[in-house]
Structure 1
Amino acid sequence: MYRKIIFMGLLLLSEISANAQKLHNLRGSLIYTLGPDTTAIGDFELKGNEFKLTVVSMSPYVNVSKLTGVFFSDGQLKRVEGNNYLPARDKDSRVYNYRLNNDQDTTFIETGNGKRNIIRKYPVKIMVANNLGGDALVFMPALLANFAPEKIGDSIISSHIVFNSARKFIIKKTSSSKLLMGSAVMGMFTVFLDQNGRLQSVDGIGTSFNIKGTAGPYLNIDSVIAISIRHQQQHPKLAVINKLDSVKTTINGNHIKVVYSRPSVRNRVIFGEVVPWNRIWRTGADAATKISLSDPLYFNGKLLPAGSYSIFTIPTPDGWTLIFNQQANIWGTEHNAAYDLLKIPIQTRYLDQPTEMLTFAIIPTGTNGGILSVSWDKLKALVNFTTAP
């Protein structure tokens, strides 16, 4: 219902530019949804290499980020200034300010709340950064699409600042109307363009955000903020939150623990959509799910030595593959197959009652074995293990 109200309101309040948009001279909006919920709405404007971006995030509270900046001619960031505030409190109630400046190929990013500022430097040029405006990160494709390579198959390589380090960021033109854009941490967004090269939509399913975006005309962003605040007041508990949780047990002296983040169904179609078939899945949310063992375990007779591992799966309609990866402490989209230690087929079955929040379980069976399972929505995947071969 909220999504319908937002879209109807935006159609009434939008300001449509009289001039046809051109590359490097355009304005428009992008609306991101997660299932039936609108999660963020943003206006973007690009004049030459100068840009403006205003993003209204809906969850857990209405939060506004405003950026102005300048790109280098290749789309990397030269200068950025901006701030973030909570409009329900006060228009001047700023959460933090941020500033970026590139000097001789070194990027300086300053963040602060007016009382304490932190300046960090990175010896690279960049295209995106997590510490520049909250959800503004996922709105940058609307601007960066205009710097994409012209030739199909070509790529532009830059950097993404995340976890206080520079990760590789890529923009690749895969067809006349499609780009791949992202990094190993944020995941790869598919950006769809019209015949004139303008943004039409963004598919972020399978990324760290699992959202979809639709482009539209430039909006009356003050009205968007007002509508969002009213909805927040009427529905104060609506929030997109992945709950960090753990489960542990001891079987035959072997201490076993799984630490994971629990996403919710939220009226979405999970398997086949939010979790695409035949692709690596973090099997949780946020950081990769981690299992720790004090002693070895055996899955289908195959040894998993004592230690800590990240857990991934490859769900398919006909069965799943469970993967234990030696990189235990990584973000959930950073799977590197070179570190896969053990792959085993696992069973799946349909549940009588759907599970709203993804749930891991370790169930002892006798004195020498157990079952590791994960349940979400209408499916449960499970595998038997033993503490001895």
Structure 2
Amino acid sequence: MKITSTILAVLIGSCAFAQLKFPAVSSHSEIEQKVGLTEFEVEYNRPNVSERKVFGKLVPYGEVWRTGANENTVIKFNQPIKVNGKDLAAGEYALYSIPNKDEWDVIFYKDTKNWGNPKEWKESNVALKVKAVATKSMNNKVETFEIRFTNVTQQKADLVLAWDNVNVVLNIETNTVSSVLKMIGEQLNENSSARDFYNSANFYYSNKLDRNQALKWVNIALEKDAKAPDYYKELKEKLEKEKY
């Protein structure tokens, strides 16, 4: 009986000290996007406007902002890219920014383990800093801070930072074409399947590369597969008719 009472007291004590769980003020979000062969991941926290004046007050002009809430906003990608025309190595970066009225500095920072801004800002950790235009819209207010990819193609996409009535767009370019050309050069051979020859020809056609080479490959695909789908023949017709 005494042992039972002791166990009960321990359980009651544990419940008394159990940590209460409350919803986060700024919601957590993770997004993934594939651009060509490059895989992107963004992890961040999303503050709300909540009837506050955001840029110029809550987020002061001319000062480093964590580009979100709470811990670092982190962006990862597995292949080198260009951001607004500038090279950036594959890896994992904290995404900081310095908002101003008409233009932002956006910073890819190597140390991703901070809560908010680093206690000591190190220029040696700045992998890349680019400028981007801040576009304002009075008719399209974004209550909850958002990071999204738009205008996604095989080679590029726009990375958009949107909050309140401000949009900032970063132009992202991948190395898709050079990667695929290298793969074709190393792997396409006489033993490759009809599908591989068709896909190689279609990639050349889609990216306006060597038309004669693409035509050779689609002809090989048709020779290899007597029951090839109609779109093989349609690609051949396009290559024969179109001049680019």
TM-score of the superposed pair, with normalisation by structure 2? 0.60
Q: Would you say 1:317 and 2:108 are equivalent positions? A: no
Amino acid in the other structure paired with 1:340? V
Check conservation: 1:247, 1:362, Cα contact below 8 A: no
Check conservation: 2:33, 2:40, Cα contact below 8 A: yes
- CA drift of 1:310 comes to 0.1
- CA drift of 1:317 comes to 1.1
Q: Does the C-alpha gap of structure 1 residues 117 and 295 become closer, same or farther in structure 2, counting only changes over 3 Å?
A: farther
Q: Does the C-alpha gap of structure 1 residues 240 and 250 become closer, same or farther in structure 2, counting only changes over 3 Å?
A: closer
Q: Would you say 1:375 and 2:162 are equivalent positions? A: yes
How far apart, CA to CA, are the structure 1 residues paired with 2:144 and 2:81?
A: 27
Check conservation: 2:101, 2:134, Cα contact below 8 A: no
Check conservation: 1:248, 1:362, Cα contact below 8 A: no
CA offsets per residue over residues 103-139 of structure 1, 9 Å max, x none? xxxxxxxxxx943999xxxxxxxxxxxxxxxxxxxxx
CA offsets per residue over residues 290-331 of structure 1, 9 Å max, x none? 000011110122111111000000001131000000012321
Amino acid in the other structure paired with 2:131? P
Give the CA RMSD over aligned residues.
Answer: 2.4
> 2:141 matched to which residue of 1?
354
> 2:37 matched to which residue of 1?
253
Higher relative contact order (CA closer than 8 Å, sequence separation 6+): 2
How far apart, CA to CA, are the structure 2 residues paired with 1:353 and 1:311?
A: 24
2:172 is paired with a residue of what secondary structure?
A: strand
TM-score of the superposed pair, with normalisation by structure 1? 0.38
Give matches, 1:85-164, under 5 Å: 114-115=13-14
Paired residue for 1:344, among 130, 134, 137?
Answer: 130
Paired residue for 1:290, among 74, 82, 86?
Answer: 74
Check conservation: 2:94, 2:108, Cα contact below 8 A: yes
Give matches, 1:204-215, under 5 Å: none
How far apart, CA to CA, are the structure 1 residues paired with 2:100 and 2:110?
A: 23
> 1:300 matched to which residue of 2?
84
Q: Which structure has the highest helix share of the two?
A: 2
2:14 is paired with a residue of what secondary structure?
A: coil
Q: Would you say 1:262 and 2:161 are equivalent positions? A: no
Amino acid in the other structure paired with 2:122? A
| Ranges in structure 1 where 5+ consecutive residues have no aligned partner | 1-112, 119-238
- CA drift of 1:244 comes to 0.3
- CA drift of 1:281 comes to 0.3
Check conservation: 2:36, 2:153, Cα contact below 8 A: no
How far apart, CA to CA, are the structure 2 residues paired with 1:379 and 1:115?
A: 48
How far apart, CA to CA, are the structure 2 residues paired with 1:320 and 1:373?
A: 12
Q: Does the C-alpha gap of structure 1 residues 248 and 359 become closer, same or farther in structure 2, counting only changes over 3 Å?
A: same
Greater CA radius of gyration, 1 or 2?
2
- CA drift of 1:333 comes to 2.3
Q: Would you say 1:387 and 2:174 are equivalent positions? A: yes
How far apart, CA to CA, are the structure 1 residues paired with 2:56 and 2:143?
A: 17
How far apart, CA to CA, are the structure 2 residues paired with 1:311 and 1:261?
A: 12
How far apart, CA to CA, are the structure 2 residues paired with 1:255 and 1:245?
A: 17
**How many aligned positions are there?**
158
CA offsets per residue over residues 187-242 of structure 1, 9 Å max, x none? xxxxxxxxxxxxxxxxxxxxxxxxxxxxxxxxxxxxxxxxxxxxxxxxxxxx8710
How far apart, CA to CA, are the structure 1 residues paired with 2:152 and 2:29?
A: 23
CA offsets per residue over residues 135-171 of structure 1, 9 Å max, x none? xxxxxxxxxxxxxxxxxxxxxxxxxxxxxxxxxxxxx
Q: Does the C-alpha gap of structure 1 residues 266 and 240 become closer, same or farther in structure 2, counting only changes over 3 Å?
A: farther
How far apart, CA to CA, are the structure 1 residues paired with 2:135 and 2:30?
A: 23
CA offsets per residue over residues 242-289 of structure 1, 9 Å max, x none? 000022110111000111000000000000000000000001000010
Check conservation: 2:62, 2:98, Cα contact below 8 A: yes
Paired residue for 2:60, among 262, 270, 276?
Answer: 276
2:133 is paired with a residue of what secondary structure?
A: strand
Q: Does the C-alpha gap of structure 1 residues 115 and 365 become closer, same or farther in structure 2, counting only changes over 3 Å?
A: closer
